[in-house]
Structure 1
Amino acid sequence: MEVPMLHKIRTTIVMAIAFTAEHADVMVVSALYLPIGRSLDVSVSKLGELSMWRGLVTAIIVPFVGVAGNMINRIYLITGGALIWAGMSTAFGFSTSYSQAAAWCALNGVGLALVMPCVQSIIAEVYHARQRGRAFGTIFTVSALGGMLFNFLAITYGNREIHNYEGWRVMVFVVAAFAATAAAAVFLGGIEPRNMQAGQGHNKEAASFGYALWQGLITIFTATKVVFRIRSFQIIMFASIVGTIGFMGFGYKVLYFQLLGFSSVATATLSLCTTLGVALGFLMGGWAADALAVRMPYAARPFINQLSMATAGPLTAVLYKAMPGCSKYASGVPGSLDHLLPEYGILCFAIGALSSWPASNNAAIFAEIVPEAVRTSVYAFDKCITGAIGALSTPLAGVLAQKLFGFTSLSHKHTGTAAPPAAAGGNSSAARATAEAAANLGNARALENGLLCIMLAPMAVKFLVYFALYYTLKRDRLAAGEDRELLLTELCKKDSEAGNGGGDGASESAAEASGKLPVRADTRAQPLPGRPVSAELCRLRSL
């Protein structure tokens, strides 16, 4: 059933608000690593563990969201998730120890788990196959812009005191308030697409909840087993896992710039440039692939993904090792590198804009190869796997920097150590400043090496992995029957290749060729020649 345009716009707006709240909630903690580390007196690897615990809980909960999404109105699930964020973020803002902060971060993962799979599946159902790249790109762009604003405010005010409260705590409260606002917007303005389709509403109210849950679990495990046979799904899953490892390093970039010698305002500006580039990249990647798909329907999205990795990787290496403000040339004095802000800003924007193309395309590919009935489950399972791997890899850059490259404590101002005794006739404050700058520079160099390790390797692996999609995507899209025009074109091509007999001979050849096409996604486990032909294919053959 075609969704009315007004409902599309309304649904897209509220889903974008929910996604923005999720994005802000995830980004703000990493933007506040420096003030949180000093306030709670924790190491750089412990700061990464805050995000790790949250990600692990999200990964554990999210498969059940796939079940719930097939049983319950997804608008209610998204609303509940946003309210959980609000409560847990407020509690996190009142934390006075690392154990309290870790506990609230972990519980916050429950709310995060409820949102992303539901938002993605709703958008996939509202838009047609050739509109999804732009739709996902728009959602991701809006969320990135919102996250950019919160990130800028967090970096700028996180180290200050606001009405006798530490600035990082105030910023966490602001995120909690926005999450509550997002919950209200989704609840009042969200539309469940299934409720608009005759016969597709939830008819399980009469059954007991236990029976419905059991049937839902059977559905998700059956769907997962079937979908995991799809080669394109396996490839995208692997690329997403590898990409998540690299993406988790972005949380340490704010800390890296602060230690290198940029002031808080300059660091916030660089973070803004990165996020703005990412936001634009989401939109550019989706639009570019949709436009190119007109001429290259099966190769457009893999090509755009590879182009993204091939351009972003070298620029990342330049950022950390070839810029005039890298640790080789920097001084570590706060504000000493602010004159390089334009050069760094342009480079950060370019890296963000070029590295984010695969996100929109991967979401669109999922929608093209996964049956509509199990999309929520599949999106949830994808979030589970990538979330678990990403959560475990979150502290990786910090661990490498601390254990392998010599990162020291953050407990003193700008990672300074206790001031050494002043030399005879020397100035104690000057000696302290020199020690702090030296510690900053050493920590920046350690973090620089750690970030470079975990960002370049995943980009190279993803570039190679996307080659496989050129061989699998065509087959899997036809198998899903998602694109009727492409399926009919394929049948006509088979008829043309069968010869010039026409008439019954052509019909027989079409039937024979179509019988070999893996049409029904729910019968993928069967050998190709034995699979039944779907009713949709029979209708197309009769045209």
Structure 2
Amino acid sequence: MIPRSWGSRLSISLLLINLAAIMEKADESLLPAVYKEVAQTFHATPSELGALTFIRALVQAIFSPAAGILSMRYNRPAVIGLGTIFWAFSTAAVAFSQNFSQCAWSRAVNGIGLAIVIPATQSFIADSYLDGGRGVAFGWLNLVGSLGGIGGSMAATIMAGYEIAGMPGWRFAFILMALLSAFIGWLVHQFVIDPRGGSSLPSSMLEKEMKALPNIWRDSFSAINNIVRVRTFQLIVLQGLVGSFPWTAMVFFTMWFQLIGKLSYRFFSLVFLTRFGHKGAAMLVGLFSMGNAFGALLGGWIGDQAARRYPNSGRIMCAQFSSFMGIPFSWLLLHGLPQEPGLWYAFAVTLVCMGLIISWNQACANNPMFADVVPPKHRTMIYAFDRAFEGAFSAMAAPLVGILAEQVYGYRRGVIITEVGSREEAIALSRGLFAMMAIPFGICCLSYTPLYRTYKLDRLRPMGAQHQSDSSINF
């Protein structure tokens, strides 16, 4: 329990942590928002663009466990601040890349920074709220993070259509993002307090801590061994291996909308221009992200209510409903609606409704359930390993979309995307997207079923360890 005197300081800390989440999502959405311009600059195909996302996600997955160990043993605001500044420099490196290889290396380094920040942020939120409110807390985290994704995506897509300060707009967007991220990282490092207590070690204790370093790492690996044996953790990670595929594949949404193109038409003496193109695509992706943001908050609230009524199954039922609904929405968006520029509003309504429904799982089930099945001191590690396992596998989704579009559905290499788009390429890309979304959503839904048996056992098992850990924290 956090002392009352910490109330206002913790509020400021939560505000800054949420700002870090905003910048993290904005940074993740930046490159997909300018796929078209990056493809033209480096003469890259959809599969090569997907490889950029794959490289970043794979490196992020590999480094997540090490980042989890850092957050277990050291002050989390310092870890989050360090990771934020780290990814800021790698984001700036993308802006100055002169070829595809340099861009790929920069994205790989970017994955290290994200690996450091995300698990520490999630465990920080879990430790800052009581059990009954964690769903809404994670919903808010997803909401504000999605706002960052919306802002980053829309700003980058619109900037990409212009030349700013003598450089292509997409490069300027990366530089701007790097500066903002570095500033937020500095604020987190300086002003955020850790709810579990602890701060930077005094110099008199530093030598003692360094001598204890081998024991620290041994204890950390012992924690890893205990976590991976938790059956609920195994099952949530299992569903996440395929459940993350659709979200990784969605990085192609902006490029797909731009391929649909713009179309002008005349009504009496007035000339109308439909809203696809740079701004239209940015608005559609922004609307979808907004739906995801409020959907995560809605899902977190529904998950909390369901957990109060059905403690051992409510969250699981909510997650299964949300993942199942991804199937009909994917079909409607990618197959049901004709891919015509004149249907911008139909796409907009579909994307908002889709985002509101399919975005519940992390907030309503996964993150709160993780917090229930391990002691507080191990929460950062369980979030880190979740990111590692899910990220490593789902990273394949983006290049697979490109490969399917090119090799199976007839996407032509070297096509220059103009303002009027390319109908054939849009259809080919949408078919690849559908394959990487509908099938994984269905498998994800089924993968939650064994949790009805394991979650009840696992959530009761660590309670004694939790109370012991809570009593040992010194504020």
Residue 303 of structure 2 aligns with which residue? 289
**Aligned pairs for 1:91-110 within 5 A:** 91-110=93-112
Q: Answer 1 or 2: higher relative contact order, Cα 8 Å, separation at least 6.
A: 2
1:185-232 Cα distance to aligned partner (Å, 9 max, x none): 2123211123269xx9999734363741x3333223222222222221
**Aligned pairs for 1:357-376 within 5 A:** 357-360=360-363, 361-376=365-380
Residue 496 of structure 1 aligns with which residue? none
Residue 409 of structure 1 aligns with which residue? 413
**Aligned pairs for 1:228-247 within 5 A:** 228-247=228-247
Residue 206 of structure 2 aligns with which residue? 205
* Alignment root-mean-square deviation, CA: 2.3
- Amino acid aligned to 2:357: L
* SS, match of residue 467 in structure 1: coil
Whether the 8 Å CA contact 2:75–2:198 is kept in 1: the answer is no
Residue 9 of structure 2 aligns with which residue? 7
Residue 393 of structure 2 aligns with which residue? 389
Whether 2:140 is the aligned partner of 1:177: answer no
1:84-119 Cα distance to aligned partner (Å, 9 max, x none): 122111111011100110111111111111101111
Whether the 8 Å CA contact 2:320–2:445 is kept in 1: the answer is yes
User: Separation in 2 of the partners of 1:17 and 1:357?
Assistant: 21
* Residues 265, 476 of structure 1: alpha-carbon distance in 2 compared, 3 angstrom cutoff: same
Residue 218 of structure 1 aligns with which residue? 218
Residue 437 of structure 2 aligns with which residue? 455
Whether 2:381 is the aligned partner of 1:377: answer yes
User: Separation in 2 of the partners of 1:61 and 1:210?
Assistant: 24
Residue 342 of structure 1 aligns with which residue? 345
User: Separation in 1 of the partners of 2:216 and 2:146?
Assistant: 33
* Residues 131, 250 of structure 1: alpha-carbon distance in 2 compared, 3 angstrom cutoff: same
1:52-100 Cα distance to aligned partner (Å, 9 max, x none): 1112221222211122112221111111111112211111101110011
* Residues 298, 7 of structure 1: alpha-carbon distance in 2 compared, 3 angstrom cutoff: farther
User: Separation in 1 of the partners of 2:231 and 2:75?
Assistant: 31
Residue 420 of structure 1 aligns with which residue? none
Whether the 8 Å CA contact 1:240–1:386 is kept in 2: the answer is yes
* SS, match of residue 244 in structure 2: helix
Residue 400 of structure 1 aligns with which residue? 404
Whether the 8 Å CA contact 2:155–2:173 is kept in 1: the answer is yes
User: Separation in 2 of the partners of 1:66 and 1:307?
Assistant: 31
**In terms of Rg, which structure is larger?**
1
User: Separation in 2 of the partners of 1:8 and 1:290?
Assistant: 23
User: Separation in 2 of the partners of 1:465 and 1:202?
Assistant: 49
**Aligned pairs for 1:267-346 within 5 A:** 267-323=281-337, 325-326=338-339, 330=340, 337=341, 339-346=342-349
1:327-365 Cα distance to aligned partner (Å, 9 max, x none): xxx4xxxxxx1x422211110011111111001121111
Whether 2:457 is the aligned partner of 1:475: answer yes
- Amino acid aligned to 1:223: A
Bigger CA drift: 445-454 or 260-269? 260-269
Whether the 8 Å CA contact 2:410–2:425 is kept in 1: the answer is yes
Residue 484 of structure 1 aligns with which residue? none
Shift of 1:304: 0.8
* Residues 215, 65 of structure 1: alpha-carbon distance in 2 compared, 3 angstrom cutoff: farther
* Residues 204, 44 of structure 1: alpha-carbon distance in 2 compared, 3 angstrom cutoff: farther
Whether the 8 Å CA contact 1:278–1:352 is kept in 2: the answer is yes
User: Separation in 1 of the partners of 2:109 and 2:257?
Assistant: 30
* Residues 412, 341 of structure 1: alpha-carbon distance in 2 compared, 3 angstrom cutoff: closer
* SS, match of residue 394 in structure 1: helix
**Aligned pairs for 1:136-147 within 5 A:** 136-147=138-149
User: Separation in 2 of the partners of 1:461 and 1:104?
Assistant: 33
1:20-72 Cα distance to aligned partner (Å, 9 max, x none): 11111111111110011001111111111111111222122221112211222
1:255-286 Cα distance to aligned partner (Å, 9 max, x none): 11111222221111110110000100110111
- Structure 2 length as normaliser, TM-score? 0.90
1:279-315 Cα distance to aligned partner (Å, 9 max, x none): 0011011111112222111111101111112323201
User: Separation in 2 of the partners of 1:204 and 1:470?
Assistant: 46
Report the count of equivalent residues: 451
Residue 250 of structure 1 aligns with which residue? 250
User: Separation in 2 of the partners of 1:402 and 1:476?
Assistant: 45
Whether the 8 Å CA contact 2:397–2:436 is kept in 1: the answer is no
Whether the 8 Å CA contact 1:38–1:411 is kept in 2: the answer is no
Query: Quick one: percent identity of the two aligned structures?
Result: 30
- Amino acid aligned to 1:271: V
Shift of 1:464: 0.9
User: Separation in 2 of the partners of 1:85 and 1:456?
Assistant: 32
User: Separation in 2 of the partners of 1:255 and 1:476?
Assistant: 43
**Aligned pairs for 1:58-97 within 5 A:** 58-97=60-99
Whether the 8 Å CA contact 2:164–2:172 is kept in 1: the answer is yes
Whether the 8 Å CA contact 2:259–2:417 is kept in 1: the answer is no
Shift of 1:170: 1.0
User: Separation in 1 of the partners of 2:167 and 2:130?
Assistant: 49
- Structure 1 length as normaliser, TM-score? 0.79
Residue 267 of structure 2 aligns with which residue? none
Whether the 8 Å CA contact 2:375–2:465 is kept in 1: the answer is no
Any unmatched runs of 5+ in structure 2? 262-275, 470-475
* SS, match of residue 297 in structure 1: coil
Whether the 8 Å CA contact 2:292–2:359 is kept in 1: the answer is yes
User: Separation in 2 of the partners of 1:11 and 1:358?
Assistant: 26
Whether the 8 Å CA contact 1:37–1:411 is kept in 2: the answer is no
* Residues 408, 168 of structure 1: alpha-carbon distance in 2 compared, 3 angstrom cutoff: same
Whether the 8 Å CA contact 1:37–1:43 is kept in 2: the answer is yes
* SS, match of residue 326 in structure 2: helix
Whether the 8 Å CA contact 1:160–1:166 is kept in 2: the answer is yes
Any unmatched runs of 5+ in structure 1? 331-336, 415-432, 482-518, 522-533, 537-543
Q: Say which of 50, 57, 60 aligns to 2:59.
A: 57
Residue 354 of structure 2 aligns with which residue? 351
User: Separation in 1 of the partners of 2:218 and 2:259?
Assistant: 51
- Amino acid aligned to 1:270: L
- Amino acid aligned to 1:397: V
User: Separation in 1 of the partners of 2:152 and 2:310?
Assistant: 38
1:149-194 Cα distance to aligned partner (Å, 9 max, x none): 1111111221322233111101111211220121122123211123
User: Separation in 2 of the partners of 1:457 and 1:159?
Assistant: 35
Residue 186 of structure 1 aligns with which residue? 188
